[in-house]
Amino acid sequence: MYPLIRNRRLRASESIRRLVRETVITPDDFLVPLFVVEGKGIKEEIPSMPNYYRLSLDNLEKETKELWKMGLCAVLLFVKVPDNLKDNKGAEALNAEGLMQRAIKTVKNACPDMLVMTDVALDPYSSYGHDGIVADGQILNDETSEVLAEMSVSHAQAGADFVAPSDMMDGRILTIREALEDEGYQNTGIMSYSAKYASAFYGPFRDALDSAPVDIANVPKDKKTYQMDFANRFEAIRETQMDIDEGADIVMVKPGLAYLDIVREIKNEVDVPVAVYQVSGEYAMLKAATEKGWLDHDAVMMEQLIAIKRAGANIIASYFAKDFIRVIG
């Protein structure tokens, strides 16, 4: 007796494997996160994110042109705000001449067709390192949503194509959508961080922006009262569905690799594009293992990116975008 069906026939050569491959990944799939700082001529490496940098606006301009030339078409902007501009309400976030607003214009001037998305949350601006306003040891929900809506309008005014609220306040997508419509920004999109978990994988990112919750009395030490419990799955679907009902154009699952079950469930449930954020800790882990000589960087990176796409991602926010371009040549 021999097996009649031999699955290995479809694996026998690279050509047949190419022919039957189910998942492909291209530069079009990537959203490139960029960290922006004040100053001139600055390109400082983030210690826990080897080969990833904070850029001043002049270098942001160069980087934008380089990314565009490489075939990448979308960036996600984050700013590192000087301590003296931080407060509890994130007032600086609304400054029309603030770093984010100038960064948006810098990218658009360098490359008008580069899609610009902006992070919307208070943490880089918060003296307490929280995504919302802190009062009596709590993060205020509705007051925070109002500020996020003003912040979104300010980003739209500066030229952002999409705002990306990453704060996890309840109802903020509707508040932001209404504010954008009221101000005439009906074409500004919203990519909602819908299923965002309270994750320890964000550590290197908080180093990059100096945005971790501060350790002082009556300020929560973590973000667990607004970001989701990583033990939960139904909640992710509920959160995502609500964001769509409130007007999100794109939804997101974050982090990536450890949450691909959630990505698949959401992909099966919803009919809007699903983004996945392969976060800073995921990047750091592979870079560290590679420095030790323990993993083959490019092979593991490609496997992880394909796995994210296979799970259902339409968009991948990833610090590996340039490494990916290098690998595909």
149 close to 188: Cβ distance less than 8 angstroms: no
Q: What secondary structure does DSSP assign to 261-319, as a single string? A: HHHHHHHHH--S-EEEEE-HHHHHHHHHHHHTT-S-HHHHHHHHHHHHHHHT-SEEEET
Query: If binding is defined by CB under 6 A, does position 131 make contact with ligand PBG?
Result: yes
**How many residues at the interface with ligand PBG, by CB under 6 A?**
12
Helices (H), 129-259: 141-158, 172-182, 203-209, 234-246
Least distance in angstroms from the C-beta of 240 to ligand PBG: 17
Determine if 128 is a binding residue for ligand PBG (CB under 6 A).
Answer: no
22 appears as a binding residue in the annotation: no
Asked if residue 286 lies in contact with residue 324, where contact means CB atoms within 8 angstroms, the answer is no
Nearest distance in Å: CB 34, ligand PBG: 12
185-224: contacts with ligand PBG (CB under 6 A): 202, 205-206, 223
Q: How far is the CB of 299 from ligand PBG (least distance, A)?
A: 22
Contact flag: residue 92 with ligand PBG (CB under 6 A): no
166 interacts with ligand PBG by CB under 6 A: yes
Partners of 295 in the beta sheet?
Answer: none
Distance CA 250, CA 163 (A): 10
Q: Report the nearest approach of ligand PBG to the CB of residue 29 (Å).
A: 17
CA angle 127, 193, 56 (to 5 degrees): 55
Region from 21-29, 80-88, 118-126, 285-293 binding ligand PBG, contact rule CB under 6 A: 118-126
Q: What Å distances lie between residue 45 and 42, 158, 220, 317, CA to CA? A: 10, 27, 29, 19
Question: Rounded to the nearest whole angstrom, what is the least distance from the CB of residue 298 to ligand PBG in the complex?
Answer: 20
**Residues that are catalytic:** 196, 254
Residue closer to ligand PBG by CB (options 123, 323) is 123
CB atoms within 10 A of CB 229: 9
Q: Interacting stretch for ligand PBG, rule CB under 6 A, among 22-30, 117-125, 176-184, 296-304?
A: 117-125
Q: Map residues 264-303 to x or -, x wherever contact with ligand PBG holds by CB under 6 A.
A: ---------------xx-----------------------
Which CB, 110 or 255, lies closer to ligand PBG?
255
Strands 162-165 and 189-196 turn out to be parallel
- Binding stretches for ligand PBG (CB under 6 A): 119, 121, 123, 131, 166-167, 202, 205-206, 223, 279-280
Binding residues for Mg(2+): 239
